[in-house]
Amino acid sequence: MKRVLALSALFFVVPAFAQSTPQPTQPTTSISDRIVVTASSLPESVQDTPAAVTVITRADIDARAALDVADVLREVPGLVLARSGSPGKATSLFTRGAASTQTLVLWNGVVLNNPYFSGYDWGRFSTVGIEQIEVVRGPYSALYGSEAMAGVVNVLTTPRSSGVHGDFESGSHGLRNAALSGAYASDSIQAAGSYEHRADDGFDPNDDFHQNSASGNVKWSLSDAFSLGGAARHTSYNLGIPFNTNAAGTALVPSLDRRQNGTETQIAVPVTLTLGRFISDLTLSDNHRRDDFSDPADPFTTSTSTDAKTRRARLTTRFLTPAGTIVAGGEYQRDLVNDVTNFGPNFLDKRRTDHSLFVEDRYSHPFSQTAHFELSAGVRRDRFDTFGSQMSPRVAAAIVSGSTKWRAAYGTGFRAPSLGELYYPFFGNAALKAESTRSYEIGYDAPMGREGLFSLTYFNSHYRNLITFDPVTFVSQNIGRVSADGIELGATDHVSANVYTAFSYTYLHRDEDETTGLRLLRRPKHSGSLAAGYRSGAIDTNIAILRTGARDDSMAIFPFSRVTNSGYTTIDVNVQYRLAHVSPFVKIENLRNAAYQEVVGYASPGRRVIVGVKF
Average pLDDT for residues 47-74, to the nearest whole number?
A: 96
By DSSP bridging, strand 163-171 and strand 151-156 are unpaired
Average pLDDT for residues 471-499, to the nearest whole number?
A: 94
| Percent of the chain topping pLDDT 70 | 95
Spatial contact of 453 and 444, defined as CB atoms under 8 Å apart: no
pLDDT tier at 471, thresholds 50, 70, 90:
confident
Which residue, 460, 464, 371, 452, is CA-closest to 408? Answer: 460
**Planar angle of CA 71, 499, 69, nearest 5 degrees:** 10
Spatial contact of 181 and 128, defined as CB atoms under 8 Å apart: yes
pLDDT tier at 10, thresholds 50, 70, 90:
very low
The CATH architecture one would assign to domain 2-614 is: Beta Barrel (2.40)
Specify the DSSP class assigned to residue 247.
T
pLDDT tier at 189, thresholds 50, 70, 90:
very high
pLDDT value, residue 32: 74
- Per the DSSP assignment, residues forming a β-bridge with 339 are 306, 347
Average pLDDT for residues 335-361, to the nearest whole number?
A: 97
Query: Does residue 269 or residue 300 have the better pLDDT?
Result: 269
Quickly list DSSP for 259-294.
EEEEEEEEEEEEEEEEETTEEEEEEEEEEEEEEEEE
Parse the chain into domains and list their residue ranges. 2-614
Residues 6+ apart with CB under 8 A from 462: 437, 438, 439, 481, 482, 483, 484
The 10s digit of each residue's pLDDT in 242-273 is 999 999 999 999 999 999 999 999 999 999 99
Average pLDDT for residues 563-586, to the nearest whole number?
A: 96
The 10s digit of each residue's pLDDT in 438-460 is 999 999 999 998 889 999 999 99
pLDDT value, residue 178: 98
| Percent of the chain topping pLDDT 90 | 91
pLDDT value, residue 450: 80
pLDDT value, residue 29: 56
Specify the DSSP class assigned to residue 419.
H
Q: What is the CA radius of gyration of the chain?
A: 24
Residue 331, pLDDT > 70, answer yes
Residue 16, pLDDT > 70, answer no
How far apart are alpha carbons 554 and 601 in whole angstroms?
Answer: 9
Query: Over the chain, what is the mean pLDDT?
Result: 94
How far apart are alpha carbons 321 and 323 in whole angstroms?
Answer: 5
pLDDT value, residue 27: 44
Q: Write down the pTM of the prediction.
A: 0.94
